[in-house]
Each structure stands twice: as C-alpha cells, then as structure tokens.
Amino acid sequence: MTPSIVFTGGGTAGHVTPNLALILLFQNEAWDVAYVGSEDGIENEMISALGIPFHAVSSGKLRRYFSFKNLLDPFKILWGILQSTLLLHRLKPDVVFSKGGFVAFPVVVGAWLNRIPVVAHESDISPGLANRLSFPFVNKICLTFTAAKKHFKNQNKIEVTGTPIRQQLFHGNVLKGLNYCSFDTQKPCLLVIGGSLGANSINRSVRAALDQLTLNYQVIHLCGKGKIDPSLVGKKGYCQLEYANDELADLFAASSVVISRAGANSLYEILALGKPHILIPLSAQVSRGDQIQNARYFQKEGISIVVQDQDLNAESLTAALQQLQANKDSIEKKIKDLHIESAAEKIVAIIKEQTDVQSPRTV
C-alpha cells in the first residue's frame, strides 16, 4: 500500500517554502502527497502550481490584538476543525506535517481527532501562536533554533533540527546569475531581498542610496510584485526584479553580500549559503516581533549587521554596508562555524518515525 502524507501551513510564503523541500523528498520516495490550506492564501497558488492535490478549509486568523473580527474567527476555526476532521478521515494519511500559520491549527486538531500522527515545525526563535496552540495535539515539533525550546513545556516532544532548505539553492551558478542581470565580474554583487510584506521601506532606501551603492557593487534588487521603478530600468549596475523563482539559486551564487528581512526561513537560507548580510527586521507595529528577535539573536553572536526598520534610510544603509565590509572576514568565519545545512532529510526521518513507514520507496 502506498504511504501518504498531508502537508499544511500557510498565510505567508515562509509557512509554505520549507514544505516544498520536504514534498520533493517524499515524492521521490513515491509517497502520495496532498496539501490542506486556505482558499485565498498564498499556499493555494504555490502548491497548485506543482500539481499537488490541494484542499481548502476554513480558517480564522489567530490575532494577538483586539479586532471585532476576533468575534467571528472562533466560529471559522471550529468550522475549519470540522472540515479538517472529515477531510482527513476520508484521505486517511499515514501522517500530517504542519509548518504553522493560522490555517494549520484546524488541520492539526482534525488529525488528532482522527488519531493521525502529527509532526510540526517552528522556524522562529519565538514560536508563532498557531504552533503554541497546536503543541498539545502534535507528536513531535521540530525547531530551527535551540533557543526556542524554552517556550514549550514537554521537552520530550521537541527535536532541534534546523529548517528544510530547497536543495537547488546549493547548486547556483555564478555566471548564470551575472548573465541573468547583464552584469560582469568587475564588481561584487549585492543581493537585496525586500520580501512581499513591508518591502516599501527597503525599496525606498536602496533606491535613494543607489548612486553610492553602485560605486562599489552591482545591485540585484528583488523589490516585490508591482514595485518595479520604471525610471531606473536600464540603470547601469542595477537590476530590479519583482521576484525570483528558479533563478534565485544563481542570484545567490553571484552575490557576495545580502540585504534581507529577518524572517527565519530566509535567514536560515542565507546562513546555510554562508553569505555575509544585513538584516532589516519588520517592526513590531506590523508583525508579532519575531523578526526583531531573530535579528537580535544573531547580532549578539556577531554574525548579522542589523538596521531597525524605523531607522532605515540611505545613510543608515550605506553605514551598515561599511560596517559589514570592515568585519566581513570575521562574519564569514562565524557563519561557517555554525555548520548550518538543510534539515530536510533529518525531518523526513522524524516524520517516518511517527508512522509504520520506514523504508525508502524510490521511483
């Protein structure tokens, strides 16, 4: 009988991207794979593009602040739990893997009610609310950082694994990345990853500092959908892209320095690739503060240069780059000493431990 697994997680790309690395491994072992998410979440678009069966359930947003919508969301969550319970009873997967996000909680509870084992994953140093609520219902939770252990009581359920990373990121080609941007080898490349959420402040500051940045770097700027600046198209030493998919590995390979938000998955990829970097965490006004905690942790370790979003402008950005350049050798050594690599295979083994399926089934 073919083994099967259901993945869940959504709301942001950070709750979906790590699942992609795991999905590929399970597909290579001939598992049946399905995904449960929200109808209007980014996960629907990302997963459906892979041809994987996608099932939508109702999901309220788990807010930490007052909103009148909070009065309706408990009913949406209860409806999502009922939908998930019935769906999983029909699908009968061997195991469920949850990456978190508000859509994951009803699926985790639905799996628990069906006595289906659940493995969850938490990327951040400070766990998200969905994973905190899901913890009593999971068999195991995998953590990216050891510092997150203190937030969970039952230590027997915890495994510190790291984060699954798409293997293709480790196989980028420098010349392909340069050619994609019409760049040469005369200057190093600076890769700016604005992210889909809150990219405006980064975009504004990078473009304000562009004349100074291009004195020393060729700038690859992932600015977000619909955020290309027409007045800068064709500017020498500057390549602006809405986003990058398959070409991202080559852009990373071509880049010497990275500027990024401080989401745990992006940060983990940057560290795994050994890239000196500047982090600009989302402010607590527009997030739960997880990016600030991630950035602060690695800043204290002497690994990350950090500029707070409220302090970001052309001057603070160029000053941070100067600081990074002055400490580049030390930072590269500290990143190397972390020995960070993809946790995909380790997490696959943990998932299999919760089932009766142990042997590889390669196709």
Question: pLDDT value at position 363?
Answer: 38
Look at domain 4-165+342-353 and name its CATH class. Answer: alpha beta
Q: How far is CA 343 from CA 25, 227, 266, 291, in A?
A: 12, 33, 14, 21
Domain pair 4-165+342-353 / 168-338, same fold? yes
Look at domain 168-338 and name its CATH class. Answer: alpha beta
Q: Which of 327, 325, 307, 309 is nearest to 213 (CA)?
A: 325
Domain boundaries, the chain: 4-165+342-353, 168-338
Mean pLDDT (10-residue bins), the chain, 363 residues:
93 85 94 93 86 91 58 86 98 96 94 98 90 96 93 93 92 98 97 77 96 97 92 96 90 98 91 97 79 94 96 97 96 95 94 76 40
The C-alpha atoms of residue 1 and residue 249 are separated, in whole angstroms, by 37
Query: Tokens 């992932």 belong to which residue?
Result: 222
DSSP letters spanning 194-228:
--SSS-HHHHHHHHHTHHHHHHH-EEEEE--TT--
End-to-end Cα distance, the chain = 15
Question: pLDDT value at position 62?
Answer: 56
Residue 40, H or E segment? none
Convert 240-268 to b/e letters by CB count within 10 Å (16 or more is b). bbebbeebbbbbbbbbebbbbbbbbbbbb
